[in-house]
Amino acid sequence: MIAEFRLPDLGEGLPEAEIVQWHVAEGDEVTLNQTIAEVETAKAIVEIPSPYAGTVQGLHAAAGDVVAVGSPLVSFAVGADAESPAAVETGSPASRPAEVVADTPVSGASERRVADDLGATARGESEKATPNLVGYGAAPSSGSRPRRRARGGATAVLDGDTAVREAAPHDVLRTGPIDLPLERPRSTPPVRKLAKDLGVDLVVVAAAHPGETVTRAHVEEFAARTPTEAQVPGMVTDTLPSASTVPPASPFAPARADRPSDARVTRTPIRGVRKHTAAAMVQSAFTAPHATTFLTLDVTATTELLASLKTDRALDGHRIGVLAIVAQAVCLALGRTPALNARWDETAGEIIEHHYVNLGIAAATERGLVVPVIPDADTLGLIDLADAIAELAATARAGRTAPAAMTGGTFSITNVGVFGVDAGTPILNPGEAGILAVGAVRRTPWEHHGEIALRDVLTLSLSFDHRLVDGAEAARFLADVAGVLREPGRAMLFPRPRGGDFL
């Protein structure tokens, strides 16, 4: 029978998702809960597992298409005696609900989100599948990867027109047919993006490194030694020359490979993170009356403290930086200025003051700006805050931040100093009363004990909602944060009503 799988609700009420990449093609045999596609929502990239064990009958969308939640995604041919995910898990009729399954960890700080359609059944008469929240489904019965149906051996001769390129649509530079393994190459999203940008086919790279996960080094090595079209007569290329073909002596960055040389404009669809960020920024800018105040200060004592912590063997494995100390100073200062940890509820006509700090940390990723949240940050000590920031950043860079991890923030920090910027006027996240921009630490001549000396100096920029926060409150908060950065020992003077350690 044919079972149709519809795009499930990926969380947070997101109405649609873009197909980033198919991991299967028509004719592939898959097992229960094996990854069949990667989709991008307005907040994250999510892996979609198969809700059936069977054969892929048809794909209802191509890579790059935007699919609405509840729309058909893929069809499976399953045997007459095949059971639905619920029946496989519980051993009961297919109508019984499946059990919750924990997320499956993957390499590094990334997380693999399990998406399943609980309403799909494999009974004699198929029913319409109701989209369900990501994270629910049957327990996987196998840890193997999707297998391609054998075609006369363990390998097959592939070229650019085979289903492998449809399943993993990376641009390829080739001279002819190549014997390649039929399993989808193992790699991470950043590596796959790099390969696509460089015009490298991961399937070809994986053939040179059997049994290994394809890394950035593998892709760059392959791109460096791959000849160009001009060097090999008759060679076929599927893309324009990549950045690696531009002579290194050129002082200018090469033109984008996907842009014709005579193009005067480039049109890019507004979708994904950019669409979500734009909507949030417009809502914030035209709802909350923004005001910004600045303070430049000497943070030499903080940088000296960080230098001493780096030599402490007890802290091996922990990367404590300026941002972690700023985060702790913010949590302490919010306790004395609760107006900056509040929300304006226009509908209810109320000001909601939070007695906890869910701290958002703005992260610039290849997909755009995201602001994942550290819940109950005010209960964490310096080491735990530093670890949470590092994990949060790694997950964001990998594009694996879950939608739920980017909601519920009460105050945010953006570290513009990593870009060499001293100050700015950051826009509030909707629903928050304040956001603090941390500038670059610069060695600057500064008055110190009545003399001019070279000191470590940075600038703090605080934007706040003037409906909730008066100028005096904003100044007091900024002074409290600065006090801790000038003299880290002053953190001991702040009360910690919710407990937690300073380290």
Annotated catalytic sites, by residue?
Answer: 466
Beta partners for residue 289, in sequence order: none
Distance linking the first and last C-alpha atoms of the chain: 60
Confirm if 429 and 371 have CB atoms less than 8 A apart. yes
Q: Which two tokens stand for residue 82?
A: 């095949």
Q: Which two tokens stand for residue 380?
A: 């964490």
Identify the DSSP state of 266.
Answer: -
* Phi, then psi, of 263 in degrees rounded to 5: -75, 135
Tokens matching residue 35: 């990854």
Alpha-carbon distance of 4 to 336, in angstroms, equals 56
Residues 140 and 48: their CA atoms lie apart, in Å, by 13
Type and span of the H or E element at 198:
helix 189-198
The Cβ of residue 101 has, within 10 Å, a number of other Cβ atoms equal to: 18
Residues in the chain: 503
Return the residue matching tokens 């053939």.
207
Of the candidates 45, 134, 39, 125, the one whose C-alpha atom is nearest the C-alpha of residue 84 is: 125
d(C-alpha 141, C-alpha 401), whole Å:
26
Q: Residue 5 CB: number of other CB atoms within 10 A?
A: 21
Nearest CA-CA partner of 50 in 36, 40, 69, 65: 36
Q: Compute φ and ψ for 365, nearest 5 degrees.
A: -120, 175
Distances (CA, A) of 108 to 111, 156, 307: 8, 33, 27
DSSP letter at 315 equals G
Q: Where does residue 365 rank: exposed (0-12), middle (13-18), buried (19+ CB within 10 A)?
A: middle
Pairing of strands 178-181, 350-353: unpaired
